[in-house]
Structure 1
Amino acid sequence: MARRATWVWLRRGLVALLAIALLLALVVWLLLRASLAQLDGEHTVPMLSAPVDVQRDERGYVSVLAESRTDVARALGFVHAQERFFQMDLMRRNAAGELSALVGAMALPLDRARRVHRFRHRAVAALAALPRDERELLDAYTAGVNAGLAALGARPPEYLLLRQRPLPWAEEDSLLVAYGMYLDLQSAQGRDDLAMGVLHDAVPADWYAFLSQHSADWQAALDDSRVAAVPVPAGPMPAALRSTKTACSDCRLQDARDLGSNNFAVAAAHGAEGRALLADDMHLGLRSPGTWFKARMVWKDGAGGHDIAGVTLPGAPLLVVGSNGRVAWGFTNTTSDWADVVTLQLDAAGTHYRSGGVDKPLRRSVERIEVAGGEAVEQVVRDSEWGPVLDLPSPPSQAYALRWVAHDPEGMNLRLFHMETAGSVDDAVQRVAGAGMPAQNLLVADASGRIAWTIIGAIPRRVGLADAGDMDRPQDWSDGRPRWQGYLSPAEQPRVVDPADGRLWTANARMVGGEAMKLLGNGGWDLGARAMQIRDDLRAQQRFDEASLHAIQLDHRALLLQRWRRLLLDQVLTPEFVTANGLADYRAEVVRSADAARPDAVGYLLVRSFREQALQSILAPLAALMEVHGLKLHDLKIVPETPGWALIQAARPDTLPGGHASWQALLQRAVLDSRRVIVERHGRLASWGQDNPTNMRHPLSPAVPVLAGWLDQASQGMAGDSHMPRVHNHGHGQSERMVVSPGHEELGILVIPGGQSGHPMSPFYRSDHAAWLAGEPLPFLPGPAQHRLVLRP
């Protein structure tokens, strides 16, 4: 009887526990459902001047139909908050150095690095300086964000996991989102200049010129300017580039700076039916949700009206790239030089620096960093008249200040929103002159068939430099001669309008030569192979439509690798070497499948890995030199392909890095080492797709692996790589693909990775993802409305 009673109580206990678990699961499910965006019905939003229709098609592509642009901004803020608030929160906190207050002490190192820039302080100052129309737009958007957040039935799910409550949105937070793009797109923050200074001081002038040259083999500047190759110096390689006494702990090669993007355009003479067309695919780190949010915005304006569509950035009230029916526009990062490092001449106490022949005190401010679950910490930030003092390893008597466009008032405003109402190429270029944003290559096409390129963003006027190369290294400004003397006027900024060839392209490489190149400087230009491939694709046809420009976006032919493939087959994989090391299968794959970065191509991964290992071996002493100074090889503004290939072709014994018996021995060791790494990682000679998955993860899934399948986007092996139009390199790739002809938007293409919503239970969390993975087009404009929400005053 006692045993039976025990069993009955045990069974009742298990049933009770199961009931409690089911009840908890139900509560969690109800909370998650309550935090979904409202798709249908009505909702009251304060300060609207008239009702606003918010429509969604079957993929969640949003259309906002309103009486005024400020009402559009309120409604867009409402929708952004409901679909993407956690993403917006991370972006403002990242720029402001406030992540620790949300996720705890693990974020302190990043917060400390961000606080040097005092971006929240700068955002407040920039907000006060905005023109009235820009401030009204921002105020309306902020009110909409807070209304949308308040309208959710429960906190967004990430805050439930973190046991936090979201803080309201402030007007300056939208500017912090823009500062976050500065941090993404101009991420060197002075380390590149410091690295180039170390290199300059360590090697003779001819070797510095050789190593720092831009590529003469891969050139595709818009003005057809060319740079001459700098040959391998006649003298022996300096010890700093050959020595193996100090090994590098991190010898990895950053072959491309991953700050990419492509855009290209054809004028009416080369567009189907006499139309100008523009293509744009911005390359960023891929995550879930993605960076962009698709929106169509329609509003009245007196007797006329406006109808714009493209992608927005959650946290900001603007259309970033897209079309307004008369003008289409798109961006790529310039990778030009928007910051200088200033060597500070400090006094013995380290409290004053020399400027203009007099000593001036370093300004000190205390930044308080809140930490979730811990005590707040304080950080002292020191500032000079040129910018903040960098927090970098250096001797006690030496310090450096960062002079960066992002720190100046000219670097931040909302002038980009005037692009939404531009009527022509000339009007567009005029309206956005002086836009405060990370400097971009702007391509514009208009409904009359014209196209243009220019730089959008503030360009500093540098004076007092001995030569343009001084921009690449730390500079002593203490005597007042070298300095920034304001910014270039719009008329002084380089541009190309109505090119004779009817084609324009940009891909983060050098765009212009001569004096214009000196104005822009080199901030780590891409090699140029990608730009050349796009240019040649454009010149291979006489007429294009949306589908043929989209095909260029998906071009993954491995043109750069073909000379490395020939090197392998002709000189490295000798019969004796292949037989002695069991490389018959390796050689067969190099022959068979190295022509393109296809997911199933084993040969592509083999040749790519061989090239990377060979360049890494050549530059290993240089990597060690950088590490001695607290820097990395990838901090250098050099293109490894150019000097590395030249040294291999010269094959001189006096330029051979230490530790190798001959150049052939170095290359054969690169084969064996790169093959070993692949086999260790994958268990066999893997394909490129197995090594290059999509890997779009939610920020919280690494911390909660059990939820990764729910939070992360579907992953698969991807075509493409860094040096070809279809960029996809281990989670860095095309954050959108857009092709559009202004005035013919119904024929256009617009696809984003992931989907519209940031909520994993939303039907729109993965709505575009399958098409993006497959390289399939989706319509530029939203389809028929499946949901309708009316926002009322």
Structure 2
Amino acid sequence: MSIERKHSTIKKALLFSGLSTMVITSCASYWLWDRLNSALPLLNGEVNLPHVENEVVIDRDRSGVPSIIAQTRMDVSRAMGFLHAQERFFQMDYLRRKAAGELSALFGESFVSADKEARLHQFRKSARQAYESLDVRHKALLDAYVEGVNAGLEKLDSTPFEYTLLQASPNLWQAEDSFLVSFAMFMEMQGHDYRNTLYLNKLRQNLPQALVDFLVPLGTSWDQPLDTQHLAAISIPSAEVYSLKSATDTSQDILALHEQADSLYTMALQDSPSVAGSNNWAVSGTNTKSGKALVANDMHLNLNVPNIWYRVGFSWHEADEDRKLTGVSLPGLPLMIAGSNTHIAWGFTNSMGDWSDLLRIPADKGQELVTHITQRIDVKDAEPVEYVVDVTPYGPVVEREQNGDLLVLRWVAHSSSAVNLGLLEVERASSVDTALPLFNNTHMTHLNVVVGDEQGNIGWTMLGALPKRAHSVWAPIDYDDKEYDWSGYLTTDKYPKRVNPKSGFIFTANARVVSGDELDIIGRENYALGARAQQIHNGLRVMHEPSEAQMLRTQLDSRAIFLQRWQYLLLSIMNEEFMAKYPELAEYRKIVNNWNGKALKDSTGYLLVRAFRTQVARRVFSGILSGVNESNPDLNVFDYFSLTSQWEGPLWKLVNEHPDHLLNTHFESWQALYADALTFLNDHFNNTHGSIANAKWGDYNKVAISHPVAGALPLIGRFFNIPEYGADGDINMPLVQEQSFGASMRMGVTPGEEQSGFFHMPVGQASNPMSPYWMAGHDDWQKGVFSPFLPQETVYSLKLLPAESKE
């Protein structure tokens, strides 16, 4: 064959191949386009539904926010179920499967470990029991919701597109599934707390108790509880208690740090797993221009496509009174989670309390108390997996110690009393005084609730079942130790509460809220660092006639007040003598000296100060914990940062007092430790960005919000995600923002004046990229633009009609 003919053949083959690829891609794109369009929700017209009692109108604005107008609360429940199924059924299914340990059947082998973890808790059994325990009214409203869900799923032209991509079919919704959604939130907020107790147990097995108390303090000087009582600081243990001079050398740990510089530096910008928490506060009518309370809330969670919340407004007529609520719902539940009912407004934060214990059962008692339950885990495209769960009358076995003793998890979430539909009663509350006990009777994951009313009153209390116990404990205890026994749950009159404090405002931010006996009720351990709460408190204290706009500005506050003292420390370290020894750090010091004191995406100074603190922390604590990590090879310093958010307390004392006996033995002096951290960072930034001035906070604080099925679409999956971008904000300030973690919503509202309120929600309402309101509202959230709390002008209108009115 001639060269010319050969080239011609190759060209034809390439052309044919290219055309074939285009045809295949076009066909696949058209198929996906068709699947997406056929799975869109009904927006206009009329639809007949079984069980609907009277005509229900669902008006949507241009952002897809629905207003349900019904004659009864039962029909509101049906309409909510219908909407949730039409727009968010896959999300609902994901949450019920997460709690039940059934994700592998949908996604495959990669989820088997997660399913095994969930099966420990037997939530499906507890969900059935919770449903059977409902009173007549709540059971009827949940049944109506289930009717709406399954009707909404049936009225789609095709199943939600995620199932098409996964080659699966959805199962109908059952009443117990709604409680699985509640248990999924327990897992999100508290599911790994017991792992921290396991790690703390290892610290106590390897270190003197005085050193453990120092490393894991109950609080710091940043605490800002509502009662203003501060805990005494713990002194650094003396060399007689513990000294690294006689401990194993940690040079190998530091060597590994440098050998894996790139990967570890990426981790260095995340001090610990994000605290699943939030901000909320209320300002009393004595401070506002209207004389009514003003409530603000931004709940921080992992961010996904779609958003975990679904915005909704609904109204009905009851007992000669018109009821109207606006806020956010959680698909899977017939409830208004946070919002306003025109008389009160409310919002939540994670309480961060202690709601579980680890009980130690001696090895010789194990055989008597343990029952083996074999679980079958169905796995997509693979054989089922058999998993044996060891349970006791006190809870599941989560670890076996070297001597054969069993550690058993006792957790509030294991009780069917842990979940109910108490928020249905809050809907009808007309004041703070009537609302607080209703919140106490609401059982779901434990939350701080802040509430304000149209009379100007404000209050705080707890939501969730609180165990009746003498005090909490953060260490394994003997299973038969009566001192730490639980004897049921507290009645509402025993819950901590605050109403109308003299300051005129109430706030929470996942940090410690109370002290003394009340702290024993909630638990003394594992709170978020108080820096965020303190910054909110100080801002509210100086506000004059706060407005909704001021509430939004506070939520967007990115001032780095927490890191100011680290900037001062860093400049004092980089003095004239130090700079003479390390002249290559001159640019580093200049930028730190001129920082703007804010966590802005374009800030180099903030990045340099923040990165210095994290690198110093790693060098300090990897030395102190070297013996623990050598005895437990599966552990490292990052487990410590996961254990406690209070590590700033011991770190700050160490870098100010420079105890020679706790200095990482790889370094000759504390100054050498600082120099090592700074030269490491200087080299990293120069090598990665060309120059240190080119490195920006936004290069590392990149927001990445993705859809769970995007990975199944290698060519076009990215179109289901939010394009990655650098963002302002950080952890220890009101504007909480990390890579895939941040404000899942923001609101500020005065009950009775909802038209003046604002609302933000990332990603928006829709889960289907072909929706006319796909990503509507996301830009307002991202840019901090004031956007209305209430649904706006109607663009789409749908009627749900009783089946007997069918033409």
* TM-score, reference length from structure 1: 0.93
> Residue 355 of structure 1 corresponds to which residue in structure 2?
none
> Residue 200 of structure 1 corresponds to which residue in structure 2?
204
Taking only the aligned residue pairs, the percentage that are identical comes to 36
- 1:240–1:625 Cα contact (<8 Å) kept: no
> Residue 224 of structure 1 corresponds to which residue in structure 2?
228
Alignment map for 1:238-317 (pairs within 5 Å): 238-239=242-243, 243-244=248-249, 247=253, 254-255=271-272, 257-317=274-334
Cα separation, 1, equivalents of 2:328 and 2:448: 17
Cα separation, 1, equivalents of 2:658 and 2:125: 54
Query: Measured at CA, do residues 11 and 568 of structure 1 come closer, stay the same or move farther in structure 2, by a change above 3 Å?
Result: closer
Tell me the SS of whatever aligns to 2:498.
strand
Q: 1:709 offset after TM fit, Å?
A: 2.9
- 1:236–1:654 Cα contact (<8 Å) kept: no
Cα separation, 2, equivalents of 1:145 and 1:57: 22
Q: 1:114 offset after TM fit, Å?
A: 1.0
Query: Measured at CA, do residues 621 and 426 of structure 1 come closer, stay the same or move farther in structure 2, by a change above 3 Å?
Result: same
Cα separation, 2, equivalents of 1:578 and 1:310: 59
One-letter identity of the residue aligned with 2:312 = A
Cα separation, 1, equivalents of 2:580 and 2:96: 55
> Residue 553 of structure 1 corresponds to which residue in structure 2?
555
Query: Measured at CA, do residues 19 and 661 of structure 1 come closer, stay the same or move farther in structure 2, by a change above 3 Å?
Result: closer
Query: Measured at CA, do residues 181 and 581 of structure 1 come closer, stay the same or move farther in structure 2, by a change above 3 Å?
Result: farther
Q: 1:500 offset after TM fit, Å?
A: 1.1
Q: 1:204 offset after TM fit, Å?
A: 2.7
Q: 1:581 offset after TM fit, Å?
A: 5.1
Cα separation, 2, equivalents of 1:276 and 1:289: 32
> Residue 381 of structure 2 corresponds to which residue in structure 1?
373
Cα separation, 1, equivalents of 2:525 and 2:139: 32
- 1:257–1:526 Cα contact (<8 Å) kept: no
Tell me the SS of whatever aligns to 2:716.
helix
> Residue 730 of structure 1 corresponds to which residue in structure 2?
739
> Residue 719 of structure 2 corresponds to which residue in structure 1?
710
Tell me the SS of whatever aligns to 2:787.
coil
Tell me the SS of whatever aligns to 2:517.
helix
Q: 1:743 offset after TM fit, Å?
A: 0.5
Cα shift readout 1:520-540 (whole Å, capped 9, x = no counterpart): 113411110000000000001
> Residue 610 of structure 1 corresponds to which residue in structure 2?
612
> Residue 260 of structure 2 corresponds to which residue in structure 1?
none
One-letter identity of the residue aligned with 1:208 = V
Q: 1:257 offset after TM fit, Å?
A: 4.2
Tell me the SS of whatever aligns to 2:315.
strand
> Residue 455 of structure 2 corresponds to which residue in structure 1?
448
Out of 77, 84, 88, which is 1:80 matched to? 84
Tell me the SS of whatever aligns to 1:192.
helix
> Residue 503 of structure 2 corresponds to which residue in structure 1?
501
5+ unaligned residues in a row in structure 1: which ranges?
Answer: 353-360
> Residue 465 of structure 2 corresponds to which residue in structure 1?
458
Q: 1:376 offset after TM fit, Å?
A: 0.7
> Residue 532 of structure 1 corresponds to which residue in structure 2?
534
Query: Measured at CA, do residues 666 and 307 of structure 1 come closer, stay the same or move farther in structure 2, by a change above 3 Å?
Result: same
> Residue 367 of structure 2 corresponds to which residue in structure 1?
351
Cα separation, 2, equivalents of 1:573 and 1:706: 53
Q: 1:775 offset after TM fit, Å?
A: 0.7
Q: Which range moved further: 37-46 or 732-741?
A: 37-46
> Residue 438 of structure 1 corresponds to which residue in structure 2?
445
Cα separation, 1, equivalents of 2:600 and 2:25: 47
Q: Which range moved further: 673-682 or 489-498?
A: 673-682
Q: 1:579 offset after TM fit, Å?
A: 6.5
> Residue 358 of structure 1 corresponds to which residue in structure 2?
none
Query: Measured at CA, do residues 86 and 607 of structure 1 come closer, stay the same or move farther in structure 2, by a change above 3 Å?
Result: same
Cα separation, 1, equivalents of 2:70 and 2:299: 29
Cα separation, 2, equivalents of 1:588 and 1:601: 13
Tell me the SS of whatever aligns to 2:308.
coil
> Residue 320 of structure 1 corresponds to which residue in structure 2?
337
Out of 528, 540, 543, which is 1:541 matched to? 543
One-letter identity of the residue aligned with 2:600 = R
> Residue 331 of structure 1 corresponds to which residue in structure 2?
348
Q: Are 1:133 and 2:137 counterparts?
A: yes
Query: Measured at CA, do residues 581 and 136 of structure 1 come closer, stay the same or move farther in structure 2, by a change above 3 Å?
Result: farther
Q: 1:684 offset after TM fit, Å?
A: 4.6
Cα shift readout 1:644-670 (whole Å, capped 9, x = no counterpart): 110111112122122111111111212
- 2:599–2:606 Cα contact (<8 Å) kept: yes
Q: 1:578 offset after TM fit, Å?
A: 6.7
Cα separation, 2, equivalents of 1:416 and 1:79: 19
Tell me the SS of whatever aligns to 2:112.
helix
- 2:40–2:771 Cα contact (<8 Å) kept: yes
Cα shift readout 1:626-658 (whole Å, capped 9, x = no counterpart): 554455223423511000110111112122122
Q: Which range moved further: 238-247 or 424-433?
A: 238-247
Cα separation, 2, equivalents of 1:576 and 1:666: 12
- 1:594–1:607 Cα contact (<8 Å) kept: no
Cα shift readout 1:66-122 (whole Å, capped 9, x = no counterpart): 111111111111111111111111111111111100011111111111111111111
Tell me the SS of whatever aligns to 2:681.
helix
5+ unaligned residues in a row in structure 2: which ranges?
Answer: 257-263, 803-807
- 2:702–2:739 Cα contact (<8 Å) kept: yes
Aligned residues: 775
- 2:120–2:389 Cα contact (<8 Å) kept: yes
> Residue 768 of structure 1 corresponds to which residue in structure 2?
777
Cα shift readout 1:262-281 (whole Å, capped 9, x = no counterpart): 00110001112222100000
Q: Are 1:646 and 2:650 counterparts?
A: no
Q: Are 1:749 and 2:758 counterparts?
A: yes
- 2:243–2:661 Cα contact (<8 Å) kept: no
Alignment map for 1:470-509 (pairs within 5 Å): 471-478=473-480, 480-509=482-511
Cα separation, 2, equivalents of 1:15 and 1:576: 65
- 1:76–1:144 Cα contact (<8 Å) kept: yes
Cα separation, 2, equivalents of 1:367 and 1:759: 35
Q: 1:750 offset after TM fit, Å?
A: 0.8
Query: Measured at CA, do residues 257 and 715 of structure 1 come closer, stay the same or move farther in structure 2, by a change above 3 Å?
Result: closer
Q: Are 1:120 and 2:124 counterparts?
A: yes
Tell me the SS of whatever aligns to 1:279.
strand
Q: Which range moved further: 633-642 or 50-59?
A: 633-642
Cα shift readout 1:600-641 (whole Å, capped 9, x = no counterpart): 101101110110111111111455555544552234235110
Q: Which range moved further: 587-596 or 269-278?
A: 587-596
> Residue 707 of structure 2 corresponds to which residue in structure 1?
698
One-letter identity of the residue aligned with 2:449 = L
- 1:510–1:525 Cα contact (<8 Å) kept: yes
> Residue 521 of structure 2 corresponds to which residue in structure 1?
519
One-letter identity of the residue aligned with 1:181 = M
> Residue 104 of structure 1 corresponds to which residue in structure 2?
108
Tell me the SS of whatever aligns to 1:284.
strand
Q: 1:236 offset after TM fit, Å?
A: 4.8
Q: Cα RMSD (Å) of the superposition?
A: 2.5
Q: Which range moved further: 33-42 or 635-644?
A: 635-644
> Residue 391 of structure 2 corresponds to which residue in structure 1?
383
Query: Measured at CA, do residues 73 and 571 of structure 1 come closer, stay the same or move farther in structure 2, by a change above 3 Å?
Result: same
